[in-house]
């Protein structure tokens, strides 16, 4: 399948031009007139489970082998690669329900299932907005992929913990906050800038999103694939446990 955003690396002249309205970087994401929103994806949709006491019904069935093997970027796997159950999540860095899952649920699932060797978790970036519409989300996505592989999930955790300081329109110094968090994860200021000018990385992130939308009908975040079934929306530890306990 042709890569829908590969041309960016050839045509773009600025990645996050006028980033945050504070500064200008060179690179790939702000090719003039380019909208990376995949066909069929509403760029403002985030999914929340309505009934907090009951696990959501599956939104569809999928081939888990295909889900696991279909990716543009190398997966970051949390847990044992030999775990019998695989859970894949597509999330957006500026999605409040994804933040809630990270801050309220994932740690409990990690202790109960991932650390015990029952589940391996794969978290994949799925920016809901194009970089032109949401440079902060695109920047956070790129930075999560630029830190060392073993810092990917810790980086995402800190980004969500300090979400109000960089993701919201009311954030006063989003660029400085992202740079500070990046330094904690091992990126120098030069590497921070290099990351935000990495044309191929930005193209790959949006290729991965477009592939998920086209191949697996991902249209909201968070979206989970567990045991051949697709689930949309935030879940509590109890809700997700009820699904994982039944998984094979």
pLDDT per residue as tens digits for the range 79-91 = 999 999 999 999 9
Asked if residue 61 belongs to a domain, the reply is yes
Asked if residue 96 belongs to a domain, the reply is yes
Asked if residue 16 belongs to a domain, the reply is yes
Predicted pLDDT at 244: 96
Task: Identify the CATH number of the domain in which residue 125 sits.
Answer: 3.40.30.10
- Number of domains within the chain: 1
Asked if residue 36 belongs to a domain, the reply is yes
Asked if residue 3 belongs to a domain, the reply is no
Secondary structure string (H, E, C) spanning the chain: CCCCCCCHHHHCCCCCCCECCCECCCCCCCCCCCCCCCCCCCCCCECECCCCCCCCCCCEECCHHHHHHCCCCCCCEECCCCCCEEEEEEECCCCHHHHHHHHHHHHHHHHHHHCCCCEEEEEEECCCCCCCCCHHHHHHHHHHHHCCHHHHHHHHHHHHHCHHHCCCCCCCCHHHHHHHHHHHCCCCHHHHHHHCCCHHHHHHHHHHHHHHHHHHCCCCECEEEECCEEEECECCHHHHHHHHCCCC
Asked if residue 34 belongs to a domain, the reply is yes
Asked if residue 2 belongs to a domain, the reply is no
Q: Is the pLDDT of residue 163 over 90?
A: yes
Predicted pLDDT at 248: 78
Residue 93 is part of which domain span?
Answer: 8-244
Q: How high does pLDDT run on average in the chain?
A: 83
Asked if residue 1 belongs to a domain, the reply is no
pLDDT of 60-76, one tens digit each?
999 999 999 999 999 99
pTM for the complete prediction? 0.83
pLDDT band at 25 (very low <50, low <70, confident <90, very high): very low
Predicted pLDDT at 23: 38
Range in 8-17, 130-139, 217-226 with the lowest mean pLDDT: 8-17
């Amino acid at each position: 399948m042709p890569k829908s955003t590969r041309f960016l690396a050839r045509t773009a002249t600025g990645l996050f031009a006028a980033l945050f309205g504070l500064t200008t970087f060179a690179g790939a994401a702000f090719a003039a007139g380019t909208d990376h929103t995949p066909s069929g994806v509403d760029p403002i949709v985030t999914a929340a489970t309505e009934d907090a006491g009951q696990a959501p019904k599956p939104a569809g069935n999928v081939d888990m082998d295909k889900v696991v093997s279909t990716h543009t970027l190398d997966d970051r796997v949390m847990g044992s690669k030999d775990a019998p159950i695989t859970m894949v999540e597509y999330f957006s860095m500026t999605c409040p329900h994804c933040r809630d899952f990270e801050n309220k649920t994932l740690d409990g699932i990690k202790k109960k299932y991932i650390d015990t060797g029952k589940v391996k978790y794969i978290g994949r970036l799925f920016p809901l907005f194009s970089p032109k519409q949401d440079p902060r989300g695109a920047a956070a996505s790129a930075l999560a992929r630029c830190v060392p592989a073993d810092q990917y999930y810790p980086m995402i955790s800190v980004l969500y913990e300090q979400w109000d300081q960089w993701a919201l329109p009311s954030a006063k110094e989003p660029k400085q906050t992202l740079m500070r968090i990046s330094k904690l994860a091992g990126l120098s200021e030069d590497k921070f800038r290099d990351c935000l000018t990495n044309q191929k990385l930005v193209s790959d992130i949006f290729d991965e999103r477009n592939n998920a939308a086209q191949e697996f009908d991902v249209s909201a975040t968070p979206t989970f694939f567990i045991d051949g079934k697709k689930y949309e929306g935030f879940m509590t530890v109890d809700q997700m446990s009820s699904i994982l306990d039944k998984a094979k």
